[in-house]
Structure 1
Amino acid sequence: MKTIHEKLGLETKSEGITLIDAHHHLWNLDLHHYPWLKNYDPNTFLGDYRSLIRNYLLEDYAKDSAGHRILATVHCEADHDYNHEVSETRWVHEQAERTGFPNAVVAHVWFHHDNCEEILTQHKQFPLLRGIRSKPVTASCSEQAETVKGAAGSMQDEKWLTGFALLEKYQLSWDLRVPFWHLEEAAQVARAFPNTRIVLNHMGFPWDRSEQGLALWRKGMKALAACPNVYVKISELGLRDQPWTVEGNRGVVLETVEMFGIARCMFASNFPVAGLQISYHDLVNNISEILSGFSQQQRDAFFWQNAQSFYRIDLS
């Protein structure tokens, strides 16, 4: 299979790391509406993200990832206008037909909405659909986590659980995205649906690197790691207004790999969002440095084989 750079006629370096990117985004602001990009909010965990308010197409991704051998990519829904969520899936498939990438798609559905199954069946018309990312209702901080339990759209909401159960019926995985103070609740869902494969996005956002914050993060991660149907993406390790450093992130990465095992961990860039703090080249190389103690076989599993298997990517 040709790499993304070969497909697009761009130079690629043979010494770069071979990988499948298990999580990135694309958007065309001329054609589609992304509320978070239309209405800039400086108070998000991203900090100043105004540089993202531009079109980001496959050609842009290919330029960012130059220097590495990208065998395949997984497009994850990018908070598109949820009144027209299927149009994002359609557009991403048009990009795949044009360029050969991405090679798997994670779309959006609201599990607790009455039209959940209707939207799922519309997404299922597209052949690269592999999973769903539907963000449950969460609290803004750990101290308020209990206040949203049982609320509409939360992971205890019966309507939400009924919609979630459809993933097994349609043979789709769930991309789990919650802050670390909700990880134990997510583990309860994972145990209740052992036949549904789940992948945690962004390592549960270990934003609080204090001893107390890491203890709470670690407790939730261990609960999820105890569920054999849960995998994890090593991604989005940036901290607001702080530089991305190897030493700053080595501990949480190695702890995550130890808890889940390398066979359930996968590389994911979260570009272009992660580009707010680090280049693609440095991101890959920094993660590679952190994992330097692992064998080549284990590194191959982490950088591309696990994602290929989880998202059922055809590399022929």
Structure 2
Amino acid sequence: MLPPATEPDPSPTPGDQPVPRIDAHHHVWDLNTRDQPWTHGLAALNRTFTADDLRPALNRNAIDATVVVQTSPTEQETAELLALAAEDPHVKAVVGWTDLTDAAVVERLASLREGPAGSALVGIRHAIQSETDPGWLSRPDVRRGLRAVAAAGLVYELLVRPDQLPDAVNAVRTLPEVRFVLDHAGNPVIDADGLSAWTALMSELAASPNVAVKLSGLVTRTTPPALHTLRPCTEVLLSVLGPHRLMYGSDWPVCLLAAPYDEVITLTEALVQDLSAHEHDAVFGATASRWYGICG
């Protein structure tokens, strides 16, 4: 069971342990094991990516731990990611997949958690952005699955399109027993109209204490990524949520569509450079550590 993700006291206490520096969102895949159809036509991504490929960047940037996130809607991939967590020195947590709409979702979740390396499973995700229904999260069978995720002590990660964000906000508000993480800040449209609508929704989302947001994926929302284009999003997130409900994620290797790992983390560091040391530690480790139960 993961610890509760209540809002922490923002002030450090004497004797605090060093906060692990965490990349809360990356992927791996092996095209020899499983096709990734969504990468077809994307030359930068249509190849195998392993944890060993990522390791030099993690070491260069002093990343202590990572959260690896599913890309395929199959429990077999989740089992493979759990096996990776059991052997890899960086991967400390797994966000996997199961069919939320299955009547046996409780048993499915129990099987994943009780299987080999199942203790590394911290969350479940489904690519809601691939669903045509903007109200998919409001379906009764999906809501039943979300409650099962919460009962299993797991986080549910929201991967949504901008038009699905209102439904995500509603799910977070009406299911206070579920601990949510919004991936990629809800994939905002970075123009005047898009940011206005997104800002209003982020303000609504922030009213619910059972959600955190990943400061991830933004580099692929604007080309080329730059401080002046990404700063408005970051300022909104810091204003309405605060650093203790934000967590850094590289979204590697998807970030390679816009920027290499070192550029992504450098941009993120620059975007939060005005934070205090304690607030900076929250974005780069403490929030993810608390939300996912990752110890140093």
Tell me the TM-score normalised to structure 2 length.
0.86
Given the alignment of the two structures, is residue 33 of structure 1 paired with residue 35 of structure 2, yes or no?
A: yes
Q: Give the unaligned 5+ runs of structure 1.
A: 1-16, 43-48, 141-147
Q: Where in structure 2 are the equivalents of 1:17-96 lying within 5 Å?
A: 19-37=21-39, 40=40, 42=41, 49-78=42-71, 80=72, 82=73, 85-96=74-85
Identical columns (%): 28
**1:158 aligned partner:** 140
Say whether the 8 Å CA contact 2:218–2:230 is kept in structure 1: yes
Within the candidate set 208, 228, 235, 1:254 is matched to 235
- Residues 135-173 of structure 1: CA distance to partner in whole angstroms, max 9, x if unpaired? 336777xxxxxxx355xxx12211111111101210111
Say whether the 8 Å CA contact 1:264–1:306 is kept in structure 2: yes
Aligned-partner Cα distance in 2 for 1:160–1:302: 30
Within the candidate set 157, 170, 177, 1:188 is matched to 170
Task: Give, as a single letter, the amino acid of the residue that structure 2 aligns with 1:30.
Answer: N
Q: Give the unaligned 5+ runs of structure 2.
A: 1-18
Q: Secondary structure at the match of 2:138?
A: coil
Say whether the 8 Å CA contact 2:28–2:51 is kept in structure 1: yes
Say whether the 8 Å CA contact 1:137–1:155 is kept in structure 2: no
Say whether the 8 Å CA contact 1:23–1:74 is kept in structure 2: yes
Query: What is the CA distance between 1:64 and its match in structure 2?
Result: 3.3
Indicate the structure whose relative CO is greater, using CA pairs within 8 Å and at least 6 residues apart. Answer: 2
Q: Secondary structure at the match of 2:218?
A: coil
Aligned-partner Cα distance in 1 for 2:161–2:128: 11
Aligned-partner Cα distance in 2 for 1:248–1:137: 23
Query: What is the CA distance between 1:227 and its match in structure 2?
Result: 0.6
Q: Secondary structure at the match of 1:231?
A: strand
Q: Where in structure 2 are the equivalents of 1:269-308 lying within 5 Å?
A: 269-308=250-289
Query: What is the CA distance between 1:252 and its match in structure 2?
Result: 0.7
**2:122 aligned partner:** 130
Task: Give, as a single letter, the amino acid of the residue that structure 2 aligns with 1:120.
Answer: L
Aligned-partner Cα distance in 1 for 2:222–2:208: 34
Aligned length: 275
Q: Secondary structure at the match of 1:52?
A: coil
Q: Secondary structure at the match of 1:155?
A: helix
Q: 1:210 to 1:31 in 2, by over 3 A?
A: closer
Given the alignment of the two structures, is residue 232 of structure 1 paired with residue 213 of structure 2, yes or no?
A: yes
Task: Give, as a single letter, the amino acid of the residue that structure 1 aligns with 2:24.
Answer: A
Tell me the TM-score normalised to structure 1 length.
0.81
Say whether the 8 Å CA contact 2:188–2:221 is kept in structure 1: no
- Residues 4-33 of structure 1: CA distance to partner in whole angstroms, max 9, x if unpaired? xxxxxxxxxxxxx97200010011121233
Output the aligned Cα RMSD.
2.0
Aligned-partner Cα distance in 2 for 1:281–1:210: 26
- Residues 24-77 of structure 1: CA distance to partner in whole angstroms, max 9, x if unpaired? 00111212333324xx1x5xxxxxx22211111111011233421111100111
